[in-house]
């Protein structure tokens, strides 16, 4: 039974690709195509493109990604805890609580260090 | 399902495996096509509702009430040239819109439409839905990066920051129904709400989930990734024709799916009066209930969309990390603690489950009260900080307007 469910998901993944692909291909065959040099330029407010695309960007993006990583790992571990929670005793709450608060401490540390300021 | 299998096996003489496989593919086609066709309605609905909010009439020329407007738009987009910029990364550029739609359509596989109608009742249903929807983030990044355009790249950076951040409170809020139901299966969570819907005793989790999943879709007021007035259109600026349409299809579908998920996780999914798997109309009625709940949530979604202006990016991030994340963490701890304080009811029933639900509700109310008082203190401090800088009479409606009347 359980395997059947995954067959369905697999079939879904196999078929889902064709849904966006079909209109894009239909568009490719139906629409006129007259490429020109100017048309294929990179768009920039109507003026000619200035400089390189790979501009320098803010370091904040990395910091947020790092904080996210901490929580992401936490949540993967919390899902089994939540599923089994009803069958476990009060100790499960204590263990989970300590685990979550330890990670929250990481957020507080980042907060105090100013990693959450967008300046 | 079984009677179709019997027809296939006995009338057409197919083997059991082949019949089962045919049913699987038939089901996939029905669910995926149904899902893909919903935006035709919702786009029309959204334009109509937007028009009413802004005191306009909205589309009313193509077909009755303008119902065929979306189809006309699709036909127009079909006749438009698909331009690929010269400097673009062609493979990534081509794959991005496809992945965008795939990431949302595959979520329909685990949506329980009624007691009997569910594509795949996976034991990790929710985790699957979240994992698959995260692929949309990668699709947007691929589009932004592959376009080789400054605006597109800026949009892609904002996407990473915003969608990653809002995934944290979303999943933390989502742990609450998982914890209450003791399962990750979508059908299991719906069945756990047979007597009391979760929204009635964990409203904080429901609201946090709804807000952060609105941000996950990237629509107003969280539409920084495509902010038209700042970075033109963000990640999809270089796209045209059907490739552009696919990005929009993905976004609209995602908006429907988050309303579906909220309805299933917190509003009881297909639960409602007279829904019983034993009678014939039960499953159909369940589907009607689910669609009604989804439509209601979708209206709230549109209401927010056309009322609240776009957030600034620093406010957006502060709102997430300094408000939503701590709130959802404490919410989860409080719910988990109170849930353990009360003994589990011997047998399911409204009266038996009521004390525990009321306890959790009181915990939620206390949490909201503490949060609001903290917010009030913060707002007061912020106001005192800027009070010295602003001439109050400028904004005071009761102040005499001598200068204004003189120049009129």
Q: Does B90 lie in the same domain as B67? A: no
- Do the chains contact at A20 and B329, CB–CB below 8 Å? no
**Unique residue bearing structure tokens 């007021």:** B221
Continuous segment of H or E residues that includes residue B130: helix B125-146
Q: What is the domain count for chain B?
A: 2
Residue B207 inside a domain? The answer is yes
What is the average pLDDT across A58-65?
79
Ranges A106-115, B4-13, B315-324, B337-346: which has the least confidence: B4-13
Residues whose CB is less than 8 angstroms from the CB of residue A6 and which lie 6 or more positions away in sequence, other chains included: B120, B122
Going B173 to B177 to B180 to B186, the CA torsion angle's sign is negative
Is the separation of the CB atoms in B145 and B92 below 8 Å? yes
- pLDDT on residue B331: 92
% of chain B with per-residue pLDDT over 90:
12
Q: Is residue B112 classed as helix, strand or coil in its secondary structure?
A: strand
Residue B136 sits in which domain range? 80-317
Q: Does B261 lie in the same domain as B130? A: yes
Residue B346 inside a domain? The answer is no
Q: Does B7 lie in the same domain as B130? A: no
Q: Does B165 lie in the same domain as B153? A: yes
Residue A77 backbone phi and psi in degrees, to 5: -80, -25
Residue B112 backbone phi and psi in degrees, to 5: -85, 110
Angle between helices B90-105 and A2-16 (to 10 degrees): 140
- Do the chains contact at B149 and A32, CB–CB below 8 Å? no
Shortest Cα distance from A75 to chain B (angstroms)?
A: 7
Q: Does B133 lie in the same domain as B59? A: no
Residues whose CB is less than 8 angstroms from the CB of residue A3 and which lie 6 or more positions away in sequence, other chains included: none
The shortest CB-CB distance from A8 to any of B27, B149, B164 is to B27
Instruction: Measure Cα distances from A14 to A83, B245, B362 in Å.
Output: 30, 21, 47
Residue B184 inside a domain? The answer is yes
Calculate ∠ Cα B265-B270-B272, nearest 5°.
Answer: 110
Residue B383 inside a domain? The answer is no
**pLDDT tens readout for residues B176-232:** 999 988 888 888 888 888 888 888 889 999 999 999 988 888 777 887 666 666 666
ipTM: 0.86
Of B317, B340, B372, the one marking the end of a domain is B317
- Do the chains contact at B172 and A93, CB–CB below 8 Å? no
Q: Tell me the chain A residues in contact with residue B244 when contact means C-beta distances shorter than 8 Å.
A: none
Question: Nearest Cα to B244, choosing from B77, B104, B99, B88?
Answer: B77
- Do the chains contact at A83 and B184, CB–CB below 8 Å? yes
The shortest CB-CB distance from A79 to any of B127, B161, B242 is to B127
Residues 46-105 of A with CB under 8 A from B: 53-55, 57-58, 60-61, 64-65, 67-68, 71-72, 75, 78-79, 82-87, 89-90, 92-93, 96-97, 100, 104
CB-based contact (8 Å) between B173 and chain A? Answer: no
Q: Which two tokens stand for residue B235?
A: 């990640």
Q: Does B303 lie in the same domain as B227? A: yes
Mutation for B interface: A3, A16, A29, most B CBs within 10 A: A16
- Do the chains contact at B81 and A32, CB–CB below 8 Å? yes
Is the separation of the CB atoms in A8 and B32 below 8 Å? no
Instruction: Measure Cα distances from B310 to A100, B153, B220, B230, B237 in Å.
Output: 32, 20, 6, 11, 19
- Do the chains contact at B29 and A34, CB–CB below 8 Å? no
Up-side HSE of residue A33: CA atoms within 13 Å toward CB? Answer: 8
Burial (CB count within 10 angstroms: exposed 0-12, middle 13-18, buried 19+), residue B307: exposed
Of B317, B341, B367, the one marking the end of a domain is B317
Residue B31 inside a domain? The answer is yes
Going B137 to B139 to B145 to B150, the CA torsion angle's sign is negative
- Name the most confidently modeled range: A22-31, B17-26, B140-149, B326-335: B326-335
Of B278, B297, B317, the one marking the end of a domain is B317
Q: Does B310 lie in the same domain as B180? A: yes
Closest residue in chain B to residue A73, using alpha carbons only: B168
Q: Does B143 lie in the same domain as B24? A: no
DSSP string, B215-248: HHHT-TTS-TTT-HHHHTTGGGTT--HHHHHHHH
Residues 89-118 of B with CB under 8 A from A: 97-98, 100-102, 105-106, 108-110
The answer to whether the pTM exceeds 0.80 is yes
**pLDDT tens readout for residues B230-259:** 666 677 777 888 888 888 888 888 899 999
Q: Looking at the predicted structure, is the pLDDT value of residue B296 above 90?
A: yes
């Amino acid at each position: 039974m359980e395997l059947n469910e995954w067959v369905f998901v697999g079939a879904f993944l196999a078929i889902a690709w064709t849904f966006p692909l079909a209109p894009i291909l239909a568009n490719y065959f139906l629409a006129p195509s007259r490429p020109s040099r100017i048309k294929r330029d990179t768009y920039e407010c109507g003026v000619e493109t200035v400089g390189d695309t790979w501009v320098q960007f803010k370091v904040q993006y990395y910091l947020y990604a790092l904080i996210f990583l901490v929580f992401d790992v936490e949540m993967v571990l919390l899902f089994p805890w939540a599923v089994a929670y009803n069958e476990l005793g009060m100790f499960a709450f204590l263990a989970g609580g300590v685990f979550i608060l330890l990670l929250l401490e990481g957020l507080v540390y980042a907060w105090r260090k100013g990693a959450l300021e967008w300046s | 399902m079984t009677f179709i299998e019997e027809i296939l096996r006995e009338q057409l003489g197919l083997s059991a495996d082949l019949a089962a496989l045919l049913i699987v593919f038939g089901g996939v086609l029905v669910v995926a096509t149904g899902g893909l066709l919903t935006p035709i309605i919702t786009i029309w609905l959204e334009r109509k509702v937007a028009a009413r909010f802004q005191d306009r009439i909205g589309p009313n020329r193509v077909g009755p009430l303008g119902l065929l407007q979306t189809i006309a738009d699709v036909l127009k987009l079909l006749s438009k040239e698909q331009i690929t910029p010269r400097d673009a990364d062609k493979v990534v550029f081509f794959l991005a819109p496809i992945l965008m739609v795939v990431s949302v359509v595959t979520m329909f596989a685990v949506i329980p439409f009624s007691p009997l109608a569910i594509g795949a009742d996976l034991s990790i249903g929710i985790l699957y839905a979240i994992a698959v929807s995260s692929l949309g983030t990668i699709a947007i990044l691929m589009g932004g990066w592959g376009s080789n355009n400054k605006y597109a790249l800026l949009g892609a950076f904002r996407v990473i920051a915003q969608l990653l951040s809002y995934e944290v409170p979303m999943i933390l809020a989502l742990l609450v129904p998982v914890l209450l139901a003791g399962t990750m299966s979508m059908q299991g969570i719906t069945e756990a709400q047979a007597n009391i819907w979760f929204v009635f005793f964990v409203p904080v989790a429901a609201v946090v989930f709804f807000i952060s999943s609105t941000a996950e879709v990237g629509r107003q007021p969280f539409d920084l990734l495509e902010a038209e007035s700042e970075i033109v259109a963000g990640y999809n600026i270089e796209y045209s024709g059907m490739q552009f349409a696919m990005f929009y299809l993905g976004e609209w579908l995602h908006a429907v799916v988050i309303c579906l998920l909220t309805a299933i996780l917190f509003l009881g999914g297909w639960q409602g009066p007279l829904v019983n798997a034993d009678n014939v109309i039960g499953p159909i009625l369940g589907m009607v209930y689910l669609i009604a709940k989804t439509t209601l949530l979708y209206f709230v979604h549109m209401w927010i969309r056309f009322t609240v202006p776009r957030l600034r990016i620093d406010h957006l991030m502060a709102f997430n990390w300094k408000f939503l994340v701590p709130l959802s963490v404490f919410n989860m701890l409080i719910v988990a603690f109170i849930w353990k304080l009360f003994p589990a009811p011997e047998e399911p029933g409204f009266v038996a489950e009521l004390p525990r639900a009321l306890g959790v509700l009181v915990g939620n109310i206390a949490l909201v009260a503490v949060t609001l008082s903290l917010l009030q203190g913060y707002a007061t401090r912020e106001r005192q900080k800027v009070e010295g800088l602003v001439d109050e009479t400028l904004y005071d409606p009761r102040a005499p307007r001598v200068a204004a009347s003189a120049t009129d």
